[in-house]
C-alpha cells in the first residue's frame, strides 16, 4: 500500500455484530475496506447477511465488535456526533414517522449540523438547500406535505435532505426498495451523477444487483463465507460474483454482466 | 426566491388578542359582580368605587387567572414534548402515568401521613410540601417509563407500560385511601378535583419560576425536537445527541407536570388535546412555531374552562377537572371526525 494514498473510508480488522448480555453474535469479521473519495459503491448480499449491520457500524449507529473504522483518516470513535454529521449523511429504509412537515422543512433539516442553536437558516444554507432541490428535480414539491408524496417522490426528497447536509459521504440503505424500475433507474443515475460531478462517495446497499453491476465503481460483496471488496470489473473477471448467491437456480453470466436463471 | 418557513404572524397576533380578551372576561366573572371599569382600575391601581373590589381582583381573581395561564401552557407543552419524543399522538402527561405519579406523591403525603407518623404530617400539608411530593412522584414514574422505553423500542408497548404504571399508582392510592381517615380522604379528593384558586402570591411565584425554568429548558431543544420528527436514527445522523434530548424532555416534563399538578390537582385532557388542537390550527410540525402556539392555546383553553367552571352569576364553582374533559373531549372528537387524521 502506498502510504501517501488517502482513503475516505478505511477499516482495519473490523468485526461487526451484536452483543447482548449473554452472548456476542458476530455477523462478519476481518473486514478490511479501503475506499477512495468519489466512488459509488454497491453493497450486495443476500437478505439477512448483514448489509444493514455493516452500514450501521460504519455510520456509528451501532458500535463495532472489534477493529477500527477511519473516516477521512480519523478514527470514528474520536469524531464527535456533530463533526460526523458534517462528513456523513444517511438515507434509511425505515418509514418516516407521521408528521405534517413540509418537504422544504424536511430538506432544510439536513442543514442542522451547520445551523445555530435555534436552527436559523443563513443565505448560504438556503443556497445549498436550493441546490439540493435542483439536483434531485424536486423543486415543485417544496410546499407539499411529506405525507402527500408518493414513494418515489419521498425517496428523492430524502436524498435531497442528505444532499442538503452536504457531506462528502452519503450512505443509503436500500433506497429503491419500494420503487418501480423507472424510479429505481432514476435514483441510481442521480447517485452516480453525484459521485462523478461532486466527487461524493456514495455507499448504497441494494438488491438491484444487475443495475448495480452496470453503475457502481466498486462492489462490496457479502457472502456467507467472506467479504470481498474491489473494482466492479475486477470482481466480475475473478468470478467473485458466483459466490453471492450459492443457489442452484441463479447463475452469473459474465458476458452479459448480469445474473440469469439457470436452465435445467 | 426560495420560500423559507411560512409566516404565522397573523395567527399569532390573533391568538394573543384572544388571550387578552379571555383573560379580561375571566377576571370579570365571579360570584360578585364587578363592572369592567372597576376591573381595569383595580388592575392599574387607580380609583375604585369599592375597596372590596380591589381585594377581590387582587387576592382572588388575578392569581387564579395567572394560575390558569401557567397551568394551561405548562401542561400543553408537556403534552407536545411527550408526543414528539414518543412519536405517538396518544402520548401525554396523563396517558404516560406522569399525572398518576404526581397523585401518588400527594397521596403518600396526605393519606400516608398516618403510616409515616405525625412528625411529618405537621409540616407536610402546605402547598409547597405537596409540590415537592408531586414532582418527585411525577419524576419517579416518568423515569420508570423512560427506562422501560430504552429497553422496549415499540412505542405502542411504551404507552401500554405508561398506562400500567398509571393503574399501579392508582392501586396504591386506593390502598392508602382505604386506610385513611375521612378528613384525609376529603382533603385528597378535593385536591384531585383540581382547582386553580386558593393560591397565594408566593405560591404563584414558585409556580412561575418552575414554569420559566421548564420553558427555558425546552427552548434549547427546539432544534433537536425538530430532527426527532424524522425518527431517532435520522436525528442521530444529523448530529443530535438523542440521549441528552430525551433527558431534557424528561426533566422539563416532570418539572412542569409535577409542580402544576401539585398546585392545581391532576387536570385531565389539556396535555393531550391542546397540542392536537394547535397542530390542526397551524398545520405544522415545526416546534419553533408549535411551542409558542401550544403555550398560548393552552392558556386560552384553560382560561375558558375556568370561566365556565365558575358558573357565572352563581356562587358555585365546578371542579375544573370535570370541565376540561366535559368540553374538551367532544371538540377533539369532532375535529378528528372532520379531519380524519391528525399528523403530529
Residue A139's domain is classified under what CATH number?
A: 3.40.50.300
The DSSP element (H or E) to which A35 belongs, if any, is: strand A34-35
Pairing state between β A66-71 and A9-19: antiparallel
Q: How far is B224 from chain A (nearest CA, A)?
A: 9
**C-beta separation of B34 from B56 below 8 A:** yes
**C-beta separation of A85 from A76 below 8 A:** no
- Tens of pLDDT, residue by residue over A16-72, are 998 887 888 999 999 999 999 999 999 999 998 999 999 999 999 889 999 999 999
Q: CB count, 10 Å around CB of B223?
A: 22
All residues of chain B having their beta carbon less than 8 Å from the beta carbon of residue A86 are 239
**C-beta separation of B299 from B71 below 8 A:** no
Closest Cβ–Cβ partner in A100, A109, A112 for B283: A100
Task: Report which of residues A245 and A164 the model is more confident about.
Answer: A164
Q: What average pLDDT does range A241-263 have in this prediction?
A: 83
Average pLDDT value over all residues in chain A: 91
d(CA B240, CA B232): 9
**C-beta separation of B132 from B66 below 8 A:** no
DSSP A102: B
User: Which of A28, A74, A79 shows the shortest CA–CA distance to A55?
Assistant: A28
d(CA A41, CA B97): 48
d(CA A36, CA B153): 36
**C-beta separation of B218 from B79 below 8 A:** no
pLDDT score at B289 = 93
All residues of chain B having their beta carbon less than 8 Å from the beta carbon of residue A115 are 223
* Cα–Cα separations (whole angstroms), residue A78 to A62, A68, A84: 15, 11, 10
pLDDT score at B344 = 47
The DSSP element (H or E) to which A34 belongs, if any, is: strand A34-35
How many domains does chain A contain in total?
1
- Tens of pLDDT, residue by residue over A173-214, are 999 888 899 999 999 999 999 999 999 999 999 999 999 999
Specify which residues A43 forms β-bridges with: A205, A220
The DSSP element (H or E) to which A30 belongs, if any, is: strand A24-31
Residue A255 lies in a domain: yes
**Chunked mean pLDDT (size 10), chain B, 344 residues:** 63 95 90 79 77 85 94 95 83 79 88 62 62 84 80 74 86 89 86 84 92 95 94 92 86 86 86 88 90 96 92 78 85 73 53
Give me the half-sphere count of Cα atoms (radius 13 Å) on the Cβ side of residue B42: 23
pLDDT score at B6 = 61
The DSSP element (H or E) to which A228 belongs, if any, is: strand A227-231
For chain B, how far is it from start to end, CA to CA, in angstroms?
29
All residues of chain B having their beta carbon less than 8 Å from the beta carbon of residue A103 are none
pLDDT score at A205 = 95
pLDDT score at A243 = 83
Residue A90 lies in a domain: yes
Instruction: For helices B62-85 and B201-219, give the axis angle rounded to 10 degrees.
Output: 30
- Answer whether B284 sits within 8 Å of A100, measured CB to CB: yes
What percentage of chain A has pLDDT greater than the value 90? 69
pLDDT score at B1 = 38
Residue A44 lies in a domain: yes
Pairing state between β A258-261 and A250-253: antiparallel
The interface pTM score, or ipTM, of the predicted complex is 0.91
Residue A75 lies in a domain: no
- Tens of pLDDT, residue by residue over B95-154, are 777 888 888 988 888 887 766 655 444 444 567 778 788 888 888 887 887 788 777 766
pLDDT score at B2 = 45
d(CA B228, CA B235): 5
Domain residue limits at A223? 38-60+82-261
What sections of A150-180 are H helices per DSSP? 151-164
All residues of chain B having their beta carbon less than 8 Å from the beta carbon of residue A117 are 220, 223
d(CA B27, CA B53): 11
Q: CB count, 10 Å around CB of A264?
A: 5
- Answer whether B285 sits within 8 Å of A126, measured CB to CB: no
pLDDT score at B3 = 47
d(CA A219, CA A244): 12
In sequence order, the 6+-apart residues with CB closer than 8 A to the CB of A152 are A179, A180, A183, A186
Q: What average pLDDT does range A120-135 have in this prediction?
A: 95
Residue A27 lies in a domain: no
Residue A226 lies in a domain: yes
pLDDT score at B343 = 53
Q: CB count, 10 Å around CB of B49?
A: 12
Q: Is the pLDDT of residue A242 over 90?
A: no
User: Going from the N-terminus, what domains does chain B have, and what CATH number goes with each?
Assistant: 9-339 (1.10.3470.10)
Rounded to the nearest 5 percent, the helix, strand and coil shares of chain B are 75, 0, 25
Q: How far is A69 from chain B (nearest CA, A)?
A: 17
Nearest CA in chain A to B228: A97
d(CA B248, CA B236): 16
Q: Does A131 touch chain B (CB under 8 A)?
A: no
Q: How far is B185 from chain A (nearest CA, A)?
A: 44
**C-beta separation of B4 from B289 below 8 A:** no
Check the CA dihedral B248-B252-B255-B258 and report its sign.
negative
Residue A107 lies in a domain: yes
**How many pairs of residues across A and B have Cβ atoms under 8 Å apart?**
94
- Answer whether A82 sits within 8 Å of B223, measured CB to CB: no
DSSP A50: S
User: Is the entire prediction scored with pTM above 0.90?
Assistant: no
d(CA B144, CA B118): 30
Q: How far is A119 from chain B (nearest CA, A)?
A: 6
Residue A54 lies in a domain: yes
Amino acid at each position: 500500500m502506498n502510504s501517501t494514498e488517502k482513503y475516505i473510508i478505511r477499516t482495519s480488522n473490523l468485526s461487526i455484530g451484536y452483543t447482548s448480555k449473554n452472548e456476542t453474535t458476530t455477523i462478519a469479521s476481518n473486514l478490511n475496506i479501503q475506499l477512495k473519495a468519489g466512488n459509488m459503491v454497491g453493497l450486495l448480499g443476500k437478505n439477512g447477511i448483514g448489509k444493514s449491520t455493516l452500514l450501521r457500524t460504519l455510520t456509528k449507529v451501532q458500535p463495532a465488535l472489534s477493529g477500527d473504522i477511519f473516516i477521512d483518516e480519523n478514527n470514528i470513535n474520536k469524531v464527535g456526533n456533530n463533526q460526523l454529521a458534517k462528513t456523513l449523511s444517511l438515507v434509511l429504509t425505515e418509514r418516516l414517522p407521521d408528521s405534517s412537515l413540509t418537504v422544504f422543512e424536511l430538506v432544510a433539516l439536513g442543514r442542522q449540523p451547520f445551523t445555530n442553536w435555534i436552527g436559523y437558516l443563513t443565505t448560504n444554507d438556503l443556497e445549498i438547500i436550493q441546490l439540493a432541490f435542483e439536483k434531485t428535480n424536486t423543486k415543485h414539491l417544496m410546499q407539499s406535505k411529506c405525507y402527500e408524496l408518493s414513494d418515489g417522490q419521498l425517496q428523492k426528497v430524502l436524498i435531497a435532505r442528505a444532499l442538503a447536509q452536504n457531506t462528502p459521504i452519503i450512505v443509503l440503505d436500500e433506497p429503491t426498495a419500494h420503487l418501480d424500475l423507472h424510479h429505481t433507474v432514476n435514483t441510481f443515475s442521480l447517485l452516480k451523477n453525484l459521485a462523478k460531478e461532486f466527487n461524493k462517495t456514495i455507499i448504497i446497499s441494494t438488491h438491484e444487483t444487475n443495475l448495480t453491476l452496470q453503475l457502481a465503481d466498486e462492489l462490496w460483496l457479502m457472502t456467507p463465507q467472506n467479504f470481498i471488496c474491489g473494482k466492479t470489473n475486477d470482481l466480475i473477471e475473478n468470478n467473485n460474483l458466483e459466490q453471492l448467491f450459492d443457489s442452484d437456480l441463479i447463475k452469473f453470466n459474465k458476458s452479459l454482466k448480469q445474473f440469469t436463471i439457470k436452465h435445467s | 426566491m426560495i420560500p423559507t418557513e411560512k409566516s404565522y404572524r397573523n395567527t399569532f397576533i390573533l391568538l394573543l388578542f384572544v388571550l387578552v380578551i379571555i383573560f379580561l372576561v375571566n377576571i370579570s366573572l365571579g360570584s360578585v359582580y364587578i363592572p369592567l371599569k372597576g376591573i381595569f382600575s383595580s388592575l392599574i391601581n387607580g380609583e375604585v368605587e369599592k375597596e372590596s373590589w380591589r381585594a377581590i381582583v387582587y387576592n382572588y381573581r388575578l392569581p387564579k387567572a395567572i394560575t390558569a395561564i401557567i397551568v394551561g401552557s405548562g401542561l400543553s407543552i408537556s403534552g407536545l414534548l411527550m408526543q414528539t419524543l414518543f412519536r405517538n399522538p396518544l402520548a401525554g402527561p396523563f396517558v404516560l402515568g406522569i399525572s398518576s405519579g404526581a397523585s401518588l406523591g400527594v397521596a403518600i403525603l396526605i393519606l400516608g401521613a398516618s403510616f409515616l407518623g405525625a412528625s411529618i404530617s405537621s409540616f407536610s400539608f402546605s402547598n409547597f410540601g405537596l409540590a415537592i411530593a408531586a414532582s418527585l412522584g411525577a419524576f419517579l414514574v416518568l423515569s420508570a417509563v423512560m427506562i422501560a422505553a430504552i429497553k422496549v423500542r415499540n412505542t405502542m408497548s411504551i404507552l401500554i407500560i405508561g398506562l400500567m404504571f398509571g393503574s399501579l399508582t392508582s392501586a396504591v392510592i386506593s390502598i392508602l385511601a382505604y386506610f385513611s381517615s375521612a378528613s384525609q380522604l376529603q382533603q385528597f379528593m378535593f385536591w384531585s378535583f383540581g382547582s386553580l384558586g386558593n393560591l397565594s402570591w408566593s405560591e404563584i411565584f414558585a409556580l412561575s419560576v418552575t414554569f420559566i425554568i421548564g420553558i427555558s429548558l425546552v427552548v434549547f431543544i427546539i432544534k433537536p425536537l425538530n430532527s426527532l420528527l424524522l425518527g431517532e436514527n435520522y436525528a442521530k445522523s444529523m448530529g443530535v445527541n438523542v440521549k441528552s434530548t430525551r433527558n431534557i424532555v424528561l426533566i422539563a416534563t416532570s418539572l412542569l407536570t409535577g409542580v402544576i399538578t401539585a398546585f392545581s390537582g391532576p387536570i385531565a385532557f389539556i396535555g393531550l388535546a391542546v397540542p392536537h388542537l394547535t397542530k390542526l390550527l397551524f398545520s405544522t410540525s415545526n416546534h419553533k412555531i408549535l411551542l409558542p402556539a401550544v403555550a398560548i392555546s393552552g392558556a386560552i383553553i384553560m382560561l375558558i374552562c375556568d370561566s365556565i367552571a365558575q358558573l357565572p352569576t352563581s356562587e358555585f364553582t365546578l371542579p375544573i377537572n370535570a370541565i376540561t374533559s366535559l368540553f374538551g373531549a367532544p371538540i377533539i372528537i369532532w375535529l378528528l371526525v372532520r379531519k380524519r387524521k391528525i399528523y403530529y
